Amino acid sequence: MTEIILKDVRKAYGDVEVIHGIDLSIDSGKFVVFVGPSGCGKSTLLRIIAGLEGVTSGDVVIDGDVVNEQPASERGLAMVFQSYALYPHMSVYKNMAFGLENSKMRREEIDRRVNDAASMLQITPYLKRRPKALSGGQRQRVAIGRAIVRDPKAFLFDEPLSNLDAELRVAMRKELASLHAKLGGTMIYVTHDQVEAMTLANTIVVLNAGRIEQVGAPLDLYNRPQNTFVAGFIGSPRMNLVDAAAEASDGRIELVTGPQRIAISSSIRITRSDKITFGARPEHIEIVDEKDADITATVDLSEQLGGETYLYCTPDGMPQLTVHQLGQLPVQRGQEVHLRFDRASMHLFDGDGKVIANGIPQ
């Protein structure tokens, strides 16, 4: 079992710092997922942990030891990349056994490990084949098998499923979850995929431009984003975020955006009222009767998926809102709908994008 700690880790390429002081503690046996926009430093951070990149300052600590000076080969971690990088001229068996043979492990032990991993990953029938005679998903499993046989202290995955088609991704995602349950090892996993992050992670780390925005359990980030970045990043389709001013009126607070005024409970303390942002996820906007509505909007697009419906609709003087409803909704483009924001699931952020409230009393 392996614990990994990053202490004020910084990384610069020449004069350009790309990782700006990361503090992070990854508990033993946890599945931790790094998410964030392209270029935010996910791969760099993973490579720093693996030992493929040095730090400019700060410490990488594995099981209590500072490993900054330790080369990748001595850290005992296994990395699985997006491009599986299998040796094309070797059989599947040989691809998995190769690293162990180089370390002079006994033949019977190598054989046992390769066969165990192959059976766990259901690639036993392909052990004699070359990688080119495998499907993408089978190749990816060989790459994971090659990591498993090394019995690493931790697994590092950099977007391992992003080359696979949608159906295979779902299948492999389930396999990874059960693999973690079986092996119980520490896993760090980089992905762009919301569903992968939400379903695989014990903990999600949201990165933005070389900094951590928030660390938490998936639903914690979903329910209690600490800033507009996390609010907009976690969840698909994304949370509706609307800039507004807050005005006191009649013992209520009114959120004013264009000609629209949305009254909320005055129990929320808003200090700087000129510029705030309110947020509502698509599933937290209800279609109601006019008398109960906060706003009325015109439907720009209605996506009928059968089991669920997405409406893209624009209230007068406001940006377009995405509304999600379960089931089928006979609403068409150009029609008017009356909308209400579910107060208990509404989010408020200040002018700097920091959270004021996750959920507002009725």
Ligand X SMILES: Nc1ncnc2c1ncn2[C@@H]1O[C@H](COP(=O)(O)OP(=O)(O)OP(=O)(O)O)[C@@H](O)[C@H]1O
Quick one: how far is CA 259 from the chain centroid?
A: 36
Closer CB to ligand X, 156 or 246, in the complex? 156
Of 200, 159, 161, the C-alpha closest to 32 is 200
- CA dihedral in degrees (90, 176, 182, 106; nearest 10)? 10
Q: Copy the structure tokens of residue 345.
A: 């699931």
CB–CB of 303/331 below 8 Å? no
Q: Which stretch, 42-50, 117-125, 133-141, 146-154, contacts ligand X (CB under 6 A)?
A: 42-50
| Residues 5-24, mask of contacts with ligand X (x by CB under 6 A) | --------x----x------
Q: Output the smallest distance, CB 38 to Mg ion, in A.
A: 7
What is the Cα 252 distance to its own chain's centre?
A: 37
Q: Based on CB atoms, which residue is closest to Mg ion, 152 or 160?
A: 160
Which lies closer to Mg ion via its Cβ, residue 37 or residue 319?
37
Residues 326-355 that bind ligand X (CB under 6 A): none
Q: What backbone phi and psi angles, to 5 degrees, belong to 13?
A: -105, 110
Least Cα distance to 19 among 192, 188, 216, 212 occurs for: 212
**Min separation Cβ 238 and ligand X, Å:** 17
Considering only residues 223 to 242 of the shown chain, the ones binding Mg ion according to CB under 5 A are none
Residue from 2, 44, 228, 260 touching ligand X (CB under 6 A): that is 44
Binding to ligand X by residue 38, rule CB under 6 A? yes
Residue 146 binding: pick among ligand X, Mg ion, none (C-beta 5-8 Å cut-off by kind): none
Among 25, 28, 43, 345, which residue interacts with Mg ion (rule: CB under 5 A)? 43
Report the alpha-carbon distance of residue 164 to residue 303 in Å, rounded.
Answer: 26
Find the residue with minimal CB distance to Mg ion.
43
Indicate which of ligand X, Mg ion, none lies near residue 2 (CB less than 5 to 8 Å, by partner kind).
none
Alpha helices (runs of H) in the chain, residue ranges in sequence order: 42-50, 72-75, 92-102, 107-120, 136-148, 166-183, 194-200, 218-223, 228-233
Is 42 one of the binding residues for ligand X (CB under 6 A)? yes
Considering CB distances under 5 to 8 angstroms, the limit depending on partner class, which of ligand X, Mg ion, none binds residue 279?
none
> 288: how many CB neighbours lie within 10 A of its CB?
13
Piece of 35-43, 83-91, 271-279, 342-350 that binds Mg ion (CB under 5 A): 35-43
Does the footprint of Mg ion cover residue 82 (CB under 5 A)?
no
Contact assessment for residue 188 and residue 26, using Cβ atoms and an 8 Å cutoff: yes
77 binds ligand X per the rule CB under 6 A: no
Cβ-contact 2, 172 below 8 angstroms: no
User: For ligand X, which stretch binds (CB under 6 A), given 34-42, 137-145, 232-240, 352-360?
Assistant: 34-42
Q: Taking CB within 5 to 8 Å according to partner kind, which of ligand X, Mg ion, none is near residue 40?
A: ligand X
Would you call 105 helix, strand, or coil by DSSP?
coil
Partner from ligand X, Mg ion, none contacting 39, C-beta within 5 to 8 A by type: ligand X
Contact call for residues 292 and 308 (beta carbons, < 8 A):
no
Nearest to 324 by CA among 309, 337, 341: 309
Q: What is the pairing mode between strands 252-257 and 260-265? A: antiparallel
Of 20, 21, 27, 43, the one binding ligand X (CB under 6 A) is 43
**Which has the closest alpha carbon to 276: 225, 360, 349, 354?**
349
Span near ligand X by CB under 6 A; candidates 33-41, 244-252, 261-269, 333-341? 33-41
Q: Which is nearer to ligand X, 36 or 279 (CB)?
A: 36
Question: Applying CB under 5 A, which residues contact Mg ion?
Answer: 43
Question: Applying CB under 6 A, which residues contact ligand X?
Answer: 13, 18, 36, 38-44
